[in-house]
Each structure stands twice: as C-alpha cells, then as structure tokens.
Amino acid sequence: MQRSVKQVIVMRRDLNMRKGKLVAQGAHASVGAFLKLFGGQVNADGSTHLTLDYTPDSFLAQWLDGSFAKICLYVDSKEDLVNLYRKVREQAPHIPVDLVQDAGLTEFHGVPTLTCLAIGPYWADEINQFTGDLKLF
C-alpha cells in the first residue's frame, strides 16, 4: 500500500477572521512550511540560493506530482495552536511546520496575532499523529 502525502493547515477559530484574512493567513502558512523543505545558502551579494532534495520516490515528489492535498482544521485558542506547534517541532523535527503571526495592521487593532500554522507536506500517517483529533474547519 502506498503512503499518502498531505499538508495540514490549522486555523484559530476563536479569532473569527474575515474570509479573505483567513485565506491569506492559510496561504502564508502553506508557503512557509513548504519553504522549510529548502536548504539555502546566502551568496556574497546577499541573495539566497535555495536547493531542494527531490528524489522520484520521496514524499515531496508524490505531493508535487500528485494532488497537492491540503486539509484545513481548527483549534479554539492561541494556546492550542502554540502547543501543537511545539509538539510537532519537538517530537518530529523532520516534518516542516510554520507558525504564522499576522502583523495586526488590518484586522487585529495593531496587535501582532498568531493566526494559524501549516504542517507538511509530509507523510499523512505521521502528520495524523499530531492532528488526528482536530476537526475540519
């Protein structure tokens, strides 16, 4: 049986973000977690050269050449979001995860606010160990 690959985006439901803000924050998280897969070096001119280890049988090849599966789940508080982020970082540092903090310029009255995170892309069974009890957004 072939393993499946996905990315999970976890949103804070307690913030009651506008739909556009919600989508933008989720997109930031998705791209941020994906970029964690790139190794990089800073060149002499200050630019960054990114590299990606892409092998045909990797989780990344399956995701990029397949469905780009993304699942959106929710938590009910900042504490739940931060605890999930820390748990993934500590227990599975090989899984890319990105925690998004909005600057607060348009929706949160000037207060920087943690809004969401993305886990993966990575093997779905490993991500499920952290998100299996969360509900669909």
pLDDT at position 55 is: 84
Give the mean model confidence (pLDDT) for residues 73-91: 98
pLDDT class for 90, splitting at 50, 70, 90?
very high
Query: Sorting pLDDT into bands at 50, 70 and 90, what band is 60?
Result: confident
Average pLDDT over residues 75-85: 98
The band of 94, judged by pLDDT with boundaries at 50, 70 and 90, is very high
What does the chain come to in residues?
Answer: 137
DSSP 66-105: TT--EEEEEESSHHHHHHHHHHHHHH-TTS-EEEEEE--S
Average pLDDT over residues 17-37: 95
56-77: average pLDDT: 90
> pTM of the prediction?
0.91
